[in-house]
Structure 1
Amino acid sequence: MKGSDQSKRSHASTSAAQVSVRNQAGPVPPRTNSSEIAAGIRLYLHLYQETIENELHASLSSRPVSCPRRIALLTMAGARLSLAFLCLVVVVVASALAGGAGARKTVGEYVLRKGDFSVKITNWGATMMSVVLPDSKGNLADVVLGLDTIAEYVNDTNYFGPVTGRVGQRIARGRFVLDGKVYHTYINDGRNAIHGGHRGFSKVIWTVKEYVGGGDSPYITLYYRSFDGEQGFPGDLDAYVTYQLSSPYVLALRMNATALNKATPVNFLQHTYWNLGGQGRGDVLGHTLQLSASRYTPLDEELLPSSGVVAPVAGTPYDFRHPTPIGARIRQVMGGRIAGYDINYVIDGEGMRKVAAARDGASGRALELWANQPAMQLYTGNWLNNTKGKGGKVYQQYGGFCLETQGYVDAVNHPEFPSMTVRPGQVYKHDMAFKFSF
């Protein structure tokens, strides 16, 4: 019985060993179809077209341009775009004919299934598209907010479910100093950078290295090589993300990265919006939330820790040390310029430990989050407003909440915060485990 006391006890007693992520497995089975080929062509073309448009805009706006020169620039841009399209068709079709041996970089959707528990992943942005599991009565529902198609994720500005990087969260003025050198990253959030820039890790195609959709421990491993100078960050970086299901009702996530030739800041985060009552089924203000956090970093109206202060949560609306409805004090806090939580918590303890617990009373679904990072951003979907979601659902403000384990926000500009610098040969390790019960 899904809702039995015995079942609940077994869910809660899951050990750390049961949530570990497999490191080695078989190669990706060859599977390429026409829809994957078409999706790959469309996405690559979309990215290349935007690059050309940006270059063209810069050329036309930087100085007065004569009419003949303007026509020449437009003609050149059109020719480059046409050539790019033809090259992409050849490359993607050739990859398909080759049988997809070893790894794939076409865009697709990959389902991990274990009984009545399933998770859908796309290698566009290493994004978690859905998590389906039962409630206390055995009724299945998808408990994450998202979109219907990969094409919609390409243009998504809400960060529905991706892995963000190279540095998730904000960097003040898109600037930092590392080993005496000043670096400028792509600014895409007012005066600041957020989630790795305009083309961060949530906006790239990851290579599928390994995929096993069923069995005892279904999993998928994704890989991305970030190049030196990408979005302004130094050095080449090898990044791996593995999603894996284990028993009972545990979704484990491992994010690793190795700096290859230069020191670089690294801060990956997983940006899923949760609604344990089911996506699109109202707000989450009635969900109870408990956080293993006795301190937080106050943020200014740009959501930056400009003071560098780490303050106690006691006596503030940020205190979730005991189970408290998310909506109990939400109108007392400002997530930037709007009411709601968008705040960085300092997690008590070290290593892999329980970070948060949430529960929806109506469905009986509960979630525990375990992680090994020093901090976590709580975001309550403050900016959702008639946002089109999956299956015809429309998301409103507070329609979901995010639990984003991470390093401290803007740590690259605050030496008093734990460093997020990874040096050549070092490995960044970020582990998370979502344990569900009902």
Structure 2
Amino acid sequence: MTGGALLPVVLLVCLALAGGADAARKPVGFYELKNKKGDFSIKVTNWGATLASVFVPDCKGNVADVILGYDTIAEYVNGTQAFGSTVGRVANRIFKSRFVLDGKAYRLFPNDGNNSIHGGHRGFGKVIWTVKEYVSGGDSPYITFFYHSFDGEQGFPGDLDVYATYRLSSPYELSITMNATATTKATPVNFANHAYWNLAGHDSGDVLQQELQILASSYTPLDDTKIPTGQIEPVAGTIYDFLQPTPVGEHMDIVPGGGSGYDLNFVVNGEQDAFRQVARVEDPKSGRGMEVWANQPGVQLYTSNWVINEKGKNGKVYGQYGALCLETQAYPDAVNHPEFPSSIVRPGQVYKHDMAIKFYQDA
């Protein structure tokens, strides 16, 4: 893919990949949103309501794509990294792929050892969404995707109507809103956008020298299967202290082969439902920076520990630590931890996850 104008590219996905006869008839394509100036644009696809590219200028006006991804729909279908996907019904991990809700036990599909991750082996990032609205240009270009998740899908209870909207606004702001309404049963809901950010450009190597600030004074420690213990601990005096801007790799053990790096939920400061700044990232070489804002209680920092020799856009082979994810979210495994903020949505209730990525250029 290139940075120029791109009309929707339509691909009919075969029945086996689409997951049903009705889904097989839906066209899958890439769609572009671009600002009036032409120096800020994104491409998205309704496969997984996925963010496929983000083109934004640096301090000298040079435009580059700052997220990892693929060139084709087929690569997204077959990919294992969830590049840019909208993940759910429940993002992150659920302990031993099970939970009890209102006295009834539910069993999910394990796809991370004995645990379930990102909604199971065919979560929301691996299904076809319907394009409901699409305005490619103007003052506030946007696209809205819709997905109906049926009762029992991947083991989760109840029907769920889901919307995801990507929107550009001036000067360089990308907003992502993810809403869902439970219609028949109570169900856990926790969506996340799984973009892999490298502000130097998707093809520029590792992000270890990019400066990261996370506005979180505490985190949720993990057991040896990456499930929260239920405790909340302060970041002070640990390698998880990003309260001040710090190079990503400054306190991180660098272990080739995916054995080390960050993959942890931070407890965002402030009221848990308030829309507030979560994090800031800046690349010292290009001068590109971004602020992450959201209304969720947590944010997962993941440093691409397991992205190893992954062929991406324009033939680029992505390596370990080649990007970072900042996934605003509910606390992982909240459905099994009554001491955590609840992730349960009951019939008639609306789940709202609002995000904004605010880009800037620092000379």
**2:264·2:301 contact (CA, 8 Å) conserved in 1?**
yes
TM-superposition CA deviations, 1:69-112 (whole Å, max 9, x none): xxxxxxxxxxxxxxx7xx99xx84xxxxxxxxxxxx41111100
Give the letter for the 1:107 counterpart: V
What is aligned with 1:106?
A: 27
**2:283 pairs with 1:312:** no
**2:53 pairs with 1:130:** yes
Give the letter for the 1:434 counterpart: I
What is aligned with 2:248?
A: 326
What is aligned with 2:115?
A: 192
| 1:352 positional shift | 0.3
- Which structure 2 residues correspond to residues 4-403 of structure 1 after superposition, within 5 A? 36=10, 39-40=11-12, 42-48=13-19, 92=25, 105-114=26-35, 115=37, 116-305=39-228, 307-331=229-253, 338-350=259-271, 351-403=274-326
TM-superposition CA deviations, 1:391-436 (whole Å, max 9, x none): 0111111000000000001001111101100000000000000000
Cα distance between partner residues in 2 of 1:275 and 1:110: 22
**2:187·2:345 contact (CA, 8 Å) conserved in 1?**
yes
Count of equivalent residues: 350
SS at match of 2:265: strand
SS at match of 1:391: helix
Give the letter for the 1:243 counterpart: Y
Cα distance between partner residues in 2 of 1:44 and 1:256: 27
Please list every run of at least 4 consecutive aligned residues from structure 1 whose deviation after the TM superposition is greater than 2 angstroms: 42-48
TM-superposition CA deviations, 1:237-275 (whole Å, max 9, x none): 000000000001000010000000100000000000000
Cα distance between partner residues in 2 of 1:44 and 1:327: 44
**2:330 pairs with 1:407:** yes
Give the letter for the 2:266 counterpart: Y
Give the letter for the 1:321 counterpart: L
**2:191·2:353 contact (CA, 8 Å) conserved in 1?**
yes
What is aligned with 2:4?
A: none
| 1:300 positional shift | 1.9
**Scaled by the length of structure 2, what TM-score is found?**
0.93
Cα distance between partner residues in 2 of 1:406 and 1:157: 20
Give the structure with higher Rg (CA): 1
Q: Which runs of 5+ in 1 are unaligned?
A: 1-31, 52-83, 93-104
SS at match of 2:339: coil
**2:18·2:128 contact (CA, 8 Å) conserved in 1?**
no
Give the letter for the 2:163 counterpart: Y
| 1:382 positional shift | 0.4
What is aligned with 1:68?
A: none
Aligned CA-pair RMSD: 1.8
TM-superposition CA deviations, 1:208-237 (whole Å, max 9, x none): 000000000000000000000000000000
| 1:47 positional shift | 4.0
Give the letter for the 1:180 counterpart: G
TM-superposition CA deviations, 1:54-83 (whole Å, max 9, x none): xxxxxxxxxxxxxxxxxxxxxxxxxxxxxx
Cα distance between partner residues in 2 of 1:414 and 1:145: 33
What is aligned with 1:5?
A: none
SS at match of 1:202: helix
More strand by share: 2
Give the letter for the 1:347 counterpart: V
Cα distance between partner residues in 2 of 1:300 and 1:435: 34
More helix by share: 1
Cα distance between partner residues in 1 of 2:153 and 2:14: 18
SS at match of 1:242: strand
Give the letter for the 2:240 counterpart: Y
| 1:385 positional shift | 1.0
**2:347 pairs with 1:428:** no
Give the letter for the 2:232 counterpart: V
